[in-house]
Structure 1
Amino acid sequence: MQKISVIIPAFNEADSIANVINDIPDTVNEVIVVNNNSTDATESEASKAGATVLHEPKKGYGYACLRGMHYIAKQSEKPDIIVFLDGDYSDYPEELTKLIQPICDGKAKLVIGARVKALREPHAMTPQQIFGNWLATTLMHWFFKSTFTDLGPFRAISYKTLLSLNMQDKTYGWTIEMQLKALKQNVPYKEIPVHYRKRIGISKVSGTVYGSIMAGYKILGWIFKYSFKS
């Protein structure tokens, strides 16, 4: 039986975090919510829903993910699979079972939940998200012959593989860094189509001009860094 831990970075997700936690399958061993300097009741709502709540005062998606990994590294019994999931209820947590299946079957070590148009609620992704995903995955195909179609945050990865990637990005580049490093290390990967709905609340990245610009800058920066890296 595979041991599974879920890491959920959360900044001001009090209205949605309990829904996310409650929809995670019972097969998961631990749900870890990293409260990323929230000013609302994210911490108390996550705790009431049964999650382990950690605190990361430095704001940034990567900071929160790294905090969750640091916590896991101190555990005596490590998980086999880590699942990353957003706290805004845009993903369907119950689909976690199909994301981890290729890893359990030995067919992949990284699985990305692809937010395909056919399964996506209208307007669930902003135009800048759609364009950014297209541009990033197109460049990855040109430079690395990858078959990725999305940078979806809902993803599963074997814990040993995650450690081997030596993740470093502290903010918006976390997802692209993981995929680029997986390509560089020839990590076997798959994409699984997942449903996607309108998030609860306003996105802190695609919902703001600053967030969209910075995310685009980070994504392109990682791609070109690895394109010219021997």
Structure 2
Amino acid sequence: MAKIDVVIPAYNEADSISRVISDIPIDVRDIIVIDNNSTDNTAFNAQQAGATVLHENRRGYGYACLKGMEYLSHKKHKPDIVVFLDGDYSDYPEELTKIVAPIIENNIDFVIGTRVKHLRERGAMTFPQIFGNWLATSLMALLFRAKFTDLGPFRAIKYDKLLDLQMEDKTYGWTVEMQLKALRQNLTYTEIPVHYRNRIGQSKVSGTIKGAIFAGIKILVWIFKYSVKK
């Protein structure tokens, strides 16, 4: 059986994190929640729900994910697959099984859960998110012949392939960096349609004008950086 570890960055997700953890299928080996300097009970609630809790005081999605990867690197028995999942309960954690299936059954390297419109709850994605996804994936298709349709955070990747990517982004560019580097290294990839609902609480990125602008800029910088390297 494949060893699957789940990494969940979380900042002020006290109201949702227990639900996320409880809905993850039981065949997962370890659930790692990275408390990204929360001011609420995120860490306590995650620990009570049975997760391994790490602390990363430097604010940023990428910082949190990198902290999770550092933890995995010290495990005696490394995972076969790493799943990244948000802590706001917008994703459906029980769909993890179908996210990892292409890796287990078809030896695919990298899988993204795609938030397709017909499976998305009304209002679950803001206009900046929808437009940003369209722009980023359109540019990747144009510049790299990519077939991505989303930058969805619910994703799975073989652990050894994840290490090969040498991830470095500390904030908003983490997801697009992973996709661009997967293209550069010719990883096999696919997308799996997933359900998506309105998150619990306010988004720290799309829920603020500042967050949306910075996320958009970071995504575009990564794309054009890689287009120059072609």
Normalized against structure 1, the TM-score is what?
0.99
Deviation at 1:134, TM superposition (A): 0.1
Deviation at 1:106, TM superposition (A): 3.2
Question: Percent of aligned positions with the same letter in both sequences?
Answer: 67
Residue identity opposite 1:110 in structure 2: F
Partner of 1:88: 88
SS of the residue corresponding to residue 106 of structure 2 reads coil
1:162-215 CA distance string (max 9 Å, x none): 000000000000000000000011100000000000000000000001100000
Residue identity opposite 1:174 in structure 2: W
SS of the residue corresponding to residue 105 of structure 1 reads helix
Deviation at 1:107, TM superposition (A): 3.7
Question: For 2:146 and 2:191, how far apart are their aligned partners in 1?
Answer: 11
Question: For 2:226 and 2:20, how far apart are their aligned partners in 1?
Answer: 34
Question: For 1:106 and 1:87, how far apart are their aligned partners in 2?
Answer: 28
Residue identity opposite 2:61 in structure 1: Y
After TM superposition, the runs of 4+ consecutive aligned structure 1 residues lying more than 4 A away are: none
1:91-129 CA distance string (max 9 Å, x none): 000000000000002341100000000100001000000
Partner of 1:187: 187
Partner of 2:64: 64
Question: For 2:53 and 2:6, how far apart are their aligned partners in 1?
Answer: 12
**5+ long unaligned stretches in structure 1:** none
Partner of 1:155: 155
Question: For 2:156 and 2:138, how far apart are their aligned partners in 1?
Answer: 22
Matches within 5 A, 1:57-206: 57-206=57-206
**5+ long unaligned stretches in structure 2:** none
Question: For 1:66 and 1:5, how far apart are their aligned partners in 2?
Answer: 14
1:72-106 CA distance string (max 9 Å, x none): 10011000000000000000000000000000023
Residue identity opposite 1:147 in structure 2: K
Partner of 1:47: 47
Question: For 1:177 and 1:201, how far apart are their aligned partners in 2?
Answer: 26
Question: For 2:107 and 2:222, how far apart are their aligned partners in 1?
Answer: 27
Count, aligned residues:
230
Residue identity opposite 1:158 in structure 2: K
Deviation at 1:220, TM superposition (A): 0.1
Residue identity opposite 1:197 in structure 2: R
SS of the residue corresponding to residue 79 of structure 1 reads coil
Instruction: Give the superposed CA RMSD.
Output: 0.5
2:222 maps to 1:222: yes
Partner of 1:18: 18
Question: For 1:77 and 1:58, how far apart are their aligned partners in 2?
Answer: 28
SS of the residue corresponding to residue 157 of structure 1 reads strand
Question: For 2:228 and 2:156, how far apart are their aligned partners in 1?
Answer: 28
Partner of 2:207: 207
Matches within 5 A, 1:24-39: 24-39=24-39
Residue identity opposite 1:124 in structure 2: A
Residue identity opposite 1:146 in structure 2: A
